[in-house]
Amino acid sequence: MENISDQPLYCLLGEKIQNSLSPSIHNAFFKYHDIDGLYITLNVDALNLKDTLKLLHRLNFHGANVTIPYKESIMQYLDSFDPLAKEVNAVNTILNKNNKLIGYNTDVDGFMIPINKQIQNLNTKTVVILGAGGAAKAVLHGLANANCKDIIILNRNLERAQNIISALDSNISVSCNVLNQQNIDSLSNIDIIVNTIPLNSTNTAFTFGPQLGIQLAYDLEYIPKETNFIKQMKILNADIIYGYEMLLSQAKLSFQIWTGLLPDNASIDNMILSILGE
């Protein structure tokens, strides 16, 4: 039997990731490009994160993705970062190069690629972001770099939202408030709403009414494809960007960092849709 360490290995580091689509996506990329590689998931406890990275050094791991809740805390164990990861202060991709772990962030561009396909000019748009975690930081930086007119962050922990705003190096208008039904109901004339929190998997319910005026809704949660958030947005006749679209975009960029190849194969996109039941 082949020693698994002889095969180039890649992984996803996080918690409760057993249902992640990342292995299906990246292993399809390897197959399509005829590359010898294997992508797996590693559920890691916070206390073992540092030791897990040491283990990756000893094994034949060439790279990794990082997801909730380690996009920020993992940075202390890495050797260097690309400029965007430094700017966002969050890492979702690691390259093991010359026995050094280099951190990258493909979430920012992965988020913006689908939105740029629908809206070319964001500087007249008001955007609401639900959540203020690691994914929200990437969303905020992407929208700020696109010179959005106005950004409003709603988060249960107001201090957390204030902190990511204060860390943003931008002159655009960004404000925040507590995420609750009353503050959602007080909004109006919203062009775009972006959900970055697991509303569906945590059975968290908010109601979004027509007074919001939402034109485009973007849900980063991708299982199921038709989340409750997406269903509400369809009732409001908003255009939709699904969570799997960002997932695929950022995955392609990660794959390019590891291999130098940018996947562009519609059959893989269709495979993910079939997994999601479409």
180, pLDDT greater than 90: yes
Domains in the chain: how many in total?
2
The 10s digit of each residue's pLDDT in 121-178 is 999 999 999 999 888 999 999 999 999 999 999 999 999 999 999 999 899 999 999 9
Instruction: Specify the CATH number for the domain of residue 97.
Output: 3.40.50.10860
- pLDDT tens, position by position, 190-238: 999 999 998 887 788 899 999 999 999 999 998 889 999 999 999 999 9
Token pair 């409003």 in the structure block, residue:
152
3-state secondary structure 78-97: CCEECHHHHHHCCCCEEEEE
pLDDT of 69-124, one tens digit each?
A: 899 999 999 999 999 999 999 999 999 999 899 999 999 999 999 999 999 899 99
Domain with 36, as residue range(s), is 4-105+245-275
Q: What are 32's two structure tokens?
A: 């399509």
Single out the catalytic residue among 31, 50, 71, 97.
71
Contact 76, 212 (CB under 8 A): no
**DSSP label at 229?**
H
pLDDT band, residue 3 (cuts 50/70/90) = very low
Asked whether residue 116 falls in the same domain as residue 222, the answer is yes
Whether residue 95 sits in one domain with residue 121: no
Is 100 among the residues known to form the active site? no
Residue 72 shares a structural domain with residue 180? no
In a shared domain, residues 120 and 153: yes
pLDDT score, position 223: 86
98 and 118 in a single domain? The answer is no
pTM above 0.85, yes or no: yes
What do you get for the CA distance between the two ends of the chain, in Å? 37
User: Could you tell me the pLDDT band of residue 2, with boundaries at 50, 70 and 90?
Assistant: very low
**Weakest mean pLDDT among 25-29, 57-61, 164-168, 253-257:** 57-61
Domain match, 51 and 114 both: no
Give yes or no: residues 12 and 96 share one domain.
Answer: yes
pLDDT bin (cut points 50, 70, 90) of residue 59 is confident
pLDDT of residue 276: 76
